[in-house]
Amino acid sequence: MYFWVFNTKMGNNDLTNWVNEFTGGLYKWAYYKTSSAETAEDLVQETFLVAAEKFSSFKGDSSPKTWLFAILNHKIIDYYRKKVKMPVGIESGVISNYFDEHGSWQKEKRPNDWQDEENHLLDNNEFQKVLQKCLDALPEQWNMCVKLKYLTKKNSDDICQKLGIAPTNYWQIVHRAKLQLRNCVENKWFKN
């Protein structure tokens, strides 16, 4: 009994430290993945509640940070799974915006030259903001597919399975999302 009390006490102290240390990082990650401050806050809070509940099963095999992020990633996937109850729609109209009936680029959608400083672009905050805006402008489920690719180190098949999307469907979505993103970035950044 004493041992149990002792353990719990330790647990709470550790947890309080973890809240201080990791809330920022977890929140940033959740915010980036869900594009919603409110959702991100909820997910981080739930993460710590789960952590408190399961604290005794944390054996220190991984760092607290890794452990907390694993819990958060589960929460994020859960959040998305609830959202994709309906099959992800792929409008055939999108493709005909970009390619003609032979599969060649439509003239006005054909990629143009971007300036040579392409690699510096990634250090440019303004450019990152444009990219973020273009991501946000995608249909929600496309946005989700693009972002989930980076959620875990696990492969895409695994993500498809978790979300209940067929892999072919997933690649079609990513392809369409990328076409739209590229076009959006070109219009917003290079033509302005």
Contact between 153 and 70 under an 8 Å Cβ cutoff? The reply is no
Q: Min. distance of Cβ 153 from another protein in angstroms? A: 12
Site string for another protein, 101-140 (x = CB under 8 A): -xxxx----xxxxx---xx-xx----xx--xx--x-----
> Of 10, 13, 36, 37, which one interacts with another protein (CB under 8 A)?
37
Q: Which sign, positive or negative, has the C-alpha torsion 136, 142, 143, 144?
A: positive
Contact between 73 and 151 under an 8 Å Cβ cutoff? The reply is yes
Q: How far apart are CA 181 and CA 130, in angstroms?
A: 10
Q: Which sign, positive or negative, has the C-alpha torsion 47, 52, 56, 58?
A: positive
Q: Min. distance of Cβ 140 from another protein in angstroms? A: 16
Binding segment (CB under 8 A) for another protein, from list 43-51, 61-69, 77-85, 86-94: 43-51
> Of 7, 12, 36, 62, which one interacts with another protein (CB under 8 A)?
12
Under rule CB under 8 A, residue 154 binds another protein: no
DSSP output for 113-148: PPPTTHHHHTT-HHHHHHHHHHHHHS-HHHHHHHHH
Nearer to another protein, 57 or 119 (CB): 119
Q: How far apart are CA 130 and CA 185, in angstroms?
A: 7
Contact between 39 and 83 under an 8 Å Cβ cutoff? The reply is no
Q: Is 181 helix (H, G, I), strand (E, B) or coil?
A: helix
Give residues 53-82 in contact with another protein (rule: CB under 8 A).
Answer: none
Give residues 172-191 in contact with another protein (rule: CB under 8 A).
Answer: 172, 174-175, 178-179, 181-182, 185-186
| Beta carbons within 10 angstroms of residue 79's beta carbon | 18
Structure tokens at 33: 């993945």
Q: Min. distance of Cβ 85 from another protein in angstroms? A: 25
Interface residues with another protein (CB under 8 A) are 12, 15-16, 19-20, 23-24, 27-29, 31-32, 37, 41, 44-45, 48-49, 52, 95, 98-99, 102-105, 110-114, 118-119, 121-122, 127-128, 131-132, 135, 146-147, 149-150, 155-156, 171-172, 174-175, 178-179, 181-182, 185-186
